[in-house]
Chains A and B, each alone.
Chain A
Amino acid sequence: QSALTQPASVSGSPGQSITISCTGTANDVGGYPLVSWYQQQPGKPPKLIIYEVSKRPSGVSHRFSGSKSGNTASLTISGLQTDDEADYHCCSYANRNNWIFGGGSKLTVL
């Protein structure tokens, strides 16, 4: 099973909105409403910020939102803040009881 495709890097200015894409196939992202997103600060473990495509765990800012269209899931961060600078990873259920991640996207807040 191939990894999901994410842009290696994205950037934005404070206050702006950015969107990170996560592209798979009909056998993973497109086939199931089971995409999650993680924020990873340098030297830290990943932190869950979105699950089941668009649900936010308690304590996660409303500035983070998730969506899906066809084989592509998206994470949108609105009102960018400097401490949003991190790596972001998507994850999807795939056929035959397997779970796959994207390669990760590095967000730079300019």
Chain B
Amino acid sequence: QVLLQESGPGLVKPSQTLSLTCTVSGDSFRGSGYYWNWIRQSPGKGLEWIAYIYHTGHAYYNPSLKSRLTLSIDTSVNQFFLSLSDVTAADTAVYYCARGGPELATLNRFDPWGQGILVTVSS
């Protein structure tokens, strides 16, 4: 059974960088063929796809967030990472990591998801 777990600070100050980690258990990045995603949900609102990363390190970002985003991956410890710079209150959301694929064409077969982590941007 594949499990994903998000971790990181729950409070970030405006203009700072939000950094999150997703730890994956029960699956291996290398050669799995899946794509590893970040998705967020603002309070009381819908979901927003943020980005994906492949085990090779290739990442692709939502065009609306691309200028502030960096994804990375460490296959030796089965973790991937999100960095979102210059945050504002609009970035306050529950951030989820989720597995997608197993083909890029079917990326939005997001399953499973982590439990999510609420990140609040406030001074």
Instruction: Please report A residues at the B interface, Cβ cutoff 8 Å.
Output: 1, 3, 34-36, 38, 44-48, 51-52, 57, 89, 91-93, 96-104
Contact = CB atoms under 8 A, between A and B. Distances in A.
A59 to B, nearest CB: 11
Interface of B: 45-49, 60, 62-64, 96, 98, 105-116
B106 A52 contact: yes
Given A3-B46, A101-B49, A103-B46, A46 B105 contact: no
A96 B63 contact: yes
A104 B46 contact: yes
A51 B99 CA distance: 14
Contact of A92 (B45, B60, B105, B108): B108
B110 A38 contact: yes
Contacts of A100: 49
B113 A98 contact: no
A21 B8 CA distance: 36
B3 to A, nearest CB: 12
A97 B52 CA distance: 11
Contacts of B64: 1
